[in-house]
Amino acid sequence: MSVLEVKNIEKHFGSTKVLRDVSFDMEEGSALAIIGSSGSGKTTLLRCLNFLEVPDKGSIIVRGETLFDADRPIKEQEKDLRRKRLHFGMVFQSFNLFPQYTALENVTLSEKLLAKERPDFKQNKKEILEEIESHGKALLEQMGLAERMEHYPHQLSGGQQQRVAIARALALQPDILCFDEPTSALDPELTGEVLKVIRGLADQHTTMIIVTHEMSFARDVADHIIFMDEGVIVEQGDARQVIDHPKEERTRQFLTKY
């Protein structure tokens, strides 16, 4: 069974159609790269999956559960929105770390807030918080940030900040982790450390959707690639196939720029 099914998603802002009939599936443990020129709707697609935008048409199904269906009444869509969101994690292009919290606090904050809703929180408060703390530390260690846990975002390089953001997204153990151009805001010499971490996640079969302009990275790390242009999926398929032997003329033209 697919972990994610996206069916016929459409989205427009005013009169401009940004997504048109976007459909794709993802297998558990696979990595999907989305490529395409600027303005083709890649960010909008990720934002729809994370419920930061509401699609006008279509449905989103995770592990067989319909999280979103534009045909259903609004009331039902907004119900449990927070819980539905937790199926997805999001790593933003501009990190969006919380500046007033340390790296570790950034990673553990949401987990701690969610733990408060557990019925046994009052009873086992200490153990639960300790567990969250050590989980957060383990994630930061995995990101190669063992020495930086008590640093505030402004004391970290861009690459380090983005790795904290990845740890923060992983902390809630999402089914699908989304990256929106995770290295685009970084100096070229810092992209490597972030790509390495994402590669590591792919090796552990983390289910991921990565919007990226790093073609060779997409080819090496992703199992599948989607090429988008003007809000439609022009071509999708096996990563190497799409990059090395694109079927569509538009894909070929796009790839010659890289």
Partner 1 sequence: MFWSVTQSLLDGLWTSFEIFIFTLLFSLPLGLILSFGAMSRWKILRGLVQTLVWIIRGTPLMLQLIIIFYGPGLWLGHNIWNGSESGRITATVVAFSINYACYFSVIFRGGIEGVPVGQREAGEVLGMTKSQIFFKVTLLQMIKRVVPPMSNEVITLVKDTSLARIIAAYELTFAGYSFMKSSGITWPLFYTGVFYLIFVGILTLLFNYIERRLDYFR
First to last CA, the chain: 35
CB 18 within 8 A of CB 12: yes
Strands of the sheet containing 232-238, edge to edge, are 88-91, 176-180, 208-211, 31-36, 224-229, 232-238
Per rule CB under 8 A, is residue 85 in the interface with partner 1?
Answer: yes
Q: 243: how many CB neighbours lie within 10 A of its CB?
A: 22
Q: Which of residues 35-54 bind ligand ATP (CB under 6 A)?
A: 36, 38-44
Residue whose CB is less far from partner 1, 67 or 234: 67
Q: State the binding string over 189-228 for partner 1 (x if CB under 8 A, else -).
A: ----------------------------------------
Strands of the sheet containing 2-13, edge to edge, are 16-27, 2-13, 57-62, 65-69
Per rule CB under 6 A, is residue 258 in the interface with ligand ATP?
Answer: no
Q: What sign results for the dihedral spanned by CA atoms 1, 110, 221, 254?
A: positive
Q: Binding residues for ligand ATP, how many (CB under 6 A)?
A: 10
Per rule CB under 6 A, is residue 18 in the interface with ligand ATP?
Answer: yes
Out of 14, 99, 119, 188, which residue is the one contacting partner 1 (CB under 8 A)? 99
Structure tokens at 131: 């567990």
What is the C-alpha to C-alpha distance for residues 20 and 10, in angstroms, rounded to an integer? 5
Per rule CB under 5 A, is residue 43 in the interface with Mg ion?
Answer: yes
Residue whose CB is less far from ligand ATP, 7 or 42: 42
Residue whose CB is less far from ligand ATP, 42 or 87: 42
Positions in the binding site for partner 1 (CB under 8 A): 50-52, 82-83, 85-86, 88-90, 92, 94, 96-101, 109-110, 113-114, 152-154, 168-169, 172
Positions in the binding site for ligand ATP (CB under 6 A): 13, 18, 36, 38-44
